[in-house]
Structure formats: C-alpha cells, structure tokens
Amino acid sequence: MIDQIDHQWLKSFHCVYECLSFKQAAEFLGIPTSNVSRHIALLEEKLNARLLERTTRRISVTEAGEQLYSSTKPLTESLSDALQEVNKHACTPIGHLRILMPDIPILGQAVVTFCAENPLISISCDTSLSPRENLLDGFDVVLYFHRGKLEDSNWVVKELTRLPSVVVAAPSLLEQQNKPYRLSDLQTLPCISTLTAVNGTPWIFKTKEGKLTTVHVKSNFRVNSGFMAKSAALSGVGFAILPLDSCNAEIESGDLISVCLEQQPEDLVLYAFYAGRKHLAKKISAFLAHLEAALQ
C-alpha cells in the first residue's frame, strides 16, 4: 500500500495533528489550506479510515489517526535524516576518497593539504605513474600523465595542467653525436624514453597547426621516473624529452642544451579520470578544484 500513499499526504496529516488546525498547518507548510484538506481526504480514502473529526469549532484525532501518527512520524523523521545524510555527500566533502596517482611531490603535498582542510574526508592513496585500465576499478580519482591523444575510456576525463616540453641533451653527448635538426635524425640517436607511460618509445611532436607527429626513437634506457630521465640526460646517456619547468635551471646553467627541431614536443598533460558525470560526489569535485589551485 505504501506505493499508493503520497509522502506529502502524510506530511500534511502530521502537521494538522500537531497544530489541530488546517489553517495553521497550511501556513507552516506554505501551501493553501485547500491543499491540506485534500491531502487528508485522499489519505483517509486510501486507508478507508477516519483520521480526524472536524467540527465548526475544533478538530480532534480519531483512534485510527492516533495510530497512524505514532506509527509513521518516527519513520518519516528517520527517512528525512537518511536523505539529509546522503545529501551531505553532494554538498559537503565527506567520506572515503580513493586516489591513484604518480608519486610526485607537488601532487602528494596537494593530497596532504586537502586532507588537512577537510577533516570529514579519509584518504586512501596508491601511486603509479602509468596505471593499467584493468586496475582502475576501486578508485574514485585516477591522476595520469599523458602525451598525445587519449584512447577512448568509460571514465570522465578532466585536464588539470599542461606542461610545455623540450628535447634536451648534455654537452658531452652533443660532442659525441651529431646534433639533430629534424625529427628523422632522432631515429638513429640514443634516446631516453619511458618504460610504459606516455606510450613508451614513440616520441610525440606537434606542428604549429596542432597536428601530432609520432617518431619511433632508439632507446636503450627506459624508465618510469622523470627524476631518473633527467639524471640520465645530465650524464650524457641520451637525448630526452622533459617538461621545461623541470629542467629550466639546468638549461640556464648549461648543464643541458635545448635541441630545436622543426616541430616542438607535444605538451605533457596531467589528466584526472573519474567515474560519473552527473551528481558528482562533493569529495571528488572539491579534490579536483583543490588540485587545480595547487597546480597553478
């Protein structure tokens, strides 16, 4: 029978019961008195029971009305409390946030400050530079660096920051190898590439019009660490593509030389992957906003 009873009918009945007045109940609920009367009439009709005795001077509650109020009032209050608790997840950063991300200081610090500023959030954070698709389930947010076009995914993707990049080499390497001027020159030179992230050995460049070009380079040194890639470049192990911000000091000091080619390296982009586009939990939207602010 519950599917035949409108929640608003019960709400009107509870208010009339407590006020013993249709007019006062209507004012409290902010609806016309005629609506309150209709709600009570419909409720009595569905229950086939008289709930209120009405006279010109007063309203009294019947035995059935007493039973209905005492039985349903606690239930509607519990339901209201439960709905408010659920609504908190949409309005307040609360609950357990599960994150998978690269182990990079600025991201780690952002997670720490977010947790400190949001005491109702508990954090579980795992680290991976290049997470595999079949391991993403079980996380609320996955942070992932990528260069070039993303593959189709069932996840919602948000770009967080874009890092302009540069091809660099140590002066000692340029003394031993011919300096490249065209993308094709890279195919015969020693290069430092990633083990699995940003598509491994292919290097990705872009034209002025934004068209991407893929170059398969020769690599005997493949790592999943920006720190190790830069260290190897400084040691003359090979040419490397690095985010400009991460090696600008070394370029200015002359420890690394910027190599200019006919196309620029495609930007390294940090993406956030998360499930669900609508009704996003506040813990996720608040974390993403915090990350964007930290990365600026």
26-68 residue pLDDT tens: 999 999 999 999 999 999 998 899 999 887 778 899 999 999 9
Length of the chain: 296
Query: Residues 139, 281: one domain?
Result: yes
Count of structural domains, the chain: 3
For residues 155 and 87, the model is more confident at: 155
Question: What CATH number is given to the structural domain containing 69?
Answer: 1.10.10.10
Residue with tokens 């039973």: 67
Residue with tokens 């579980």: 124
Residue 1 lies in a domain: no
Tell me the pLDDT band of 201, cut-offs 50, 70 and 90: low
Q: Domain boundary at 89, 106, 140, which?
A: 89
Give one DSSP letter per residue of 226-240, joined into a string: HHHHHHHHHTTS-EE
Query: Residues 63, 29: one domain?
Result: yes
Query: Residues 276, 157: one domain?
Result: yes
What share of the chain has pLDDT > 70, as a percent?
Answer: 91
Give residue 289's domain range.
Answer: 95-162+269-295
Rounded to two decimals, the pTM is 0.68
Tell me the pLDDT band of 277, cut-offs 50, 70 and 90: low
Q: Where are the beta strands (DSSP E) in the chain?
A: 52-54, 59-61, 95-101, 121-127, 141-146, 156-163, 165-169, 190-194, 202-206, 212-216, 218-223, 239-243, 257-259, 264-265, 268-274
Task: Give residue 262's pLDDT.
Answer: 93
Task: Give residue 3's pLDDT.
Answer: 66
Query: Residues 112, 54: one domain?
Result: no
Query: Residues 170, 257: one domain?
Result: yes
Query: Residues 182, 258: one domain?
Result: yes
* Region 71-97 average pLDDT: 80
Task: Give residue 136's pLDDT.
Answer: 63
Query: Residues 123, 245: one domain?
Result: no
Phi, psi of 224 (to 5 degrees): -110, 55
Residue with tokens 């050995």: 201
Residue 152 lies in a domain: yes
Q: Which has the minimum average pLDDT: 120-134, 143-157, 178-192, 253-267?
A: 120-134
Residue 2 lies in a domain: no
Distance CA 260, CA 269 (A): 21
